[in-house]
Structure 1
Amino acid sequence: MQLDEVKNVLIDTLNLGPAGQALQADSPLLGSLPELDSMAVVTLIGALEEHFGIMIDDDDISASTFETLGSLAAFVSAKMA
């Protein structure tokens, strides 16, 4: 699973710094990280596409995708499959 890679992209994209290292698979993202606003979601999607070599369509994305770090990592894994 790409959990650590997704976490690192998230930390780098949102400039979370050391606080981001504490994120776990069940850590809530959307609504819990003030840095993750609508513009940051767009930036993060671009960063994930670039890092993992995947294409993410607008139709693929829902709030549940960004619910937790684990749900985001599972989404990325599914896109890579």
Structure 2
Amino acid sequence: MNSLNDVKNIVINTLQLGEHAAHFDENTFLLGSLAELDSVTVISVITEIEEFYGLKFDDSEINGDVFATLGSLAATVDQKLSQIQ
């Protein structure tokens, strides 16, 4: 499964980044690079991902490495999805 486009849209919509984020790809840095992404909005992004995919993340599964790039976030979602299929 490749969730990159869906995760990208969730991040853009949740953080209200608008059109300037349309060029985001798997190498786009997130945590520490986007002023809109902080501890509160990380929770919002995770909540939106959980609702979109019907997943549940444990707190221990969420860390800075997961939110390093858009690609690392999508890879985490893909890994989680592969565990339920």
Q: Assess same fold via TM > 0.5.
A: yes
CA distance in 1 between counterparts of 2:21 and 2:57 reads 24
* Higher fraction of helix: 1
Question: Percentage identity across aligned positions?
Answer: 44
- Equivalenced residue count is 81
Runs (5+) with no aligned partner, structure 1 = none
Which stretches of structure 1, 4 residues or more, deviate above 4 A after TM superposition?
none
Task: Give the RMSD, CA atoms, in angstroms.
Answer: 0.6
Runs (5+) with no aligned partner, structure 2 = none
Instruction: Give, in angstroms, the shift of residue 20 of structure 1.
Output: 1.6
Instruction: Give, in angstroms, the shift of residue 62 of structure 1.
Output: 1.2
CA distance in 1 between counterparts of 2:20 and 2:34 reads 11
- The code of the aligned residue for 1:34 comes to A
**Structure with the greater alpha carbon radius of gyration:** 2
The TM-score normalised by the length of structure 1 is 0.97
